[in-house]
C-alpha cells in the first residue's frame, strides 16, 4: 500500500543528514568534549539541545519525532520547556545554533 504523505527513504536522507549534524553538534564525536554552543548557556538538557537545533534547522515536529523515535507530543513538550528556559514564545525566536 502506497501512501503519498509518507516520505520515501530517498526523500528522508537529507532530513537524516541534518538530524545527525544536529546530534553531533550536541554530543560531540564519540563523547569527546566540544565547543560550547548557543543553547549551552541556558541549562538545556542534551535532548532539549538536540531538538532545539533540529527545530532551528527547519525540521517539523513530526520529522523530529520520527527521527528520534519519540512521539510528537514529547517533541512539543520539549519545545515548550525550551521556550520557557530561553524566555521566548515560539520557534521563530529560537537563536540560530
Domain extents for the chain?
13-28+38-93
Rounded to an integer, the average pLDDT of 12-36 is 51
Mean pLDDT across 32-38: 54
> Given this model, what pLDDT does residue 31 score?
44
pLDDT at 80 over 80: yes
Angle, vertex CA 56, rays to CA 61 and CA 4, nearest 5: 40
Closest by CA position to 56, among listed 81, 11, 82, 92: 92
How many CA atoms are closer than 13 Å to the CA of 16, on its beta-carbon side? 8
**pLDDT value of position 42:** 78
Query: Taking residues 4-29, what's their average pLDDT?
Result: 53
d(CA 17, CA 66): 14
- For 53-67, give one letter per residue: b (16+ CB within 10 A) or e: bbbbbebebebbbbb
Instruction: Please answer whether residues 68 and 50 qualify as being in contact, where contact means their C-beta atoms are separated by less than 8 angstroms.
Output: yes
Give the per-residue pLDDT at 55: 94
Please calculate the CA angle 19-20-24 and round it to the nearest 5 degrees: 120
**CATH architecture label of 13-28+38-93:** Orthogonal Bundle (1.10)
Tell me: pLDDT of 38 over 90: no
Amino acid at each position: 500500500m502506497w501512501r503519498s504523505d509518507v516520505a520515501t527513504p530517498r526523500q528522508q536522507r537529507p532530513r537524516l543528514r541534518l538530524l545527525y549534524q544536529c546530534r553531533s553538534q550536541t554530543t560531540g564525536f564519540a563523547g569527546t568534549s566540544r565547543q560550547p554552543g548557543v543553547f549551552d548557556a541556558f541549562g538545556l538538557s542534551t535532548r532539549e539541545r538536540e531538538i532545539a537545533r533540529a527545530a532551528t534547522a527547519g525540521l517539523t515536529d513530526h520529522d523530529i519525532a520520527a527521527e528520534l523515535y519519540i512521539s510528537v507530543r514529547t517533541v512539543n513538550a520539549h519545545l515548550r520547556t525550551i521556550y520557557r528556559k530561553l524566555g521566548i514564545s515560539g520557534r521563530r525566536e529560537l537563536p540560530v545554533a
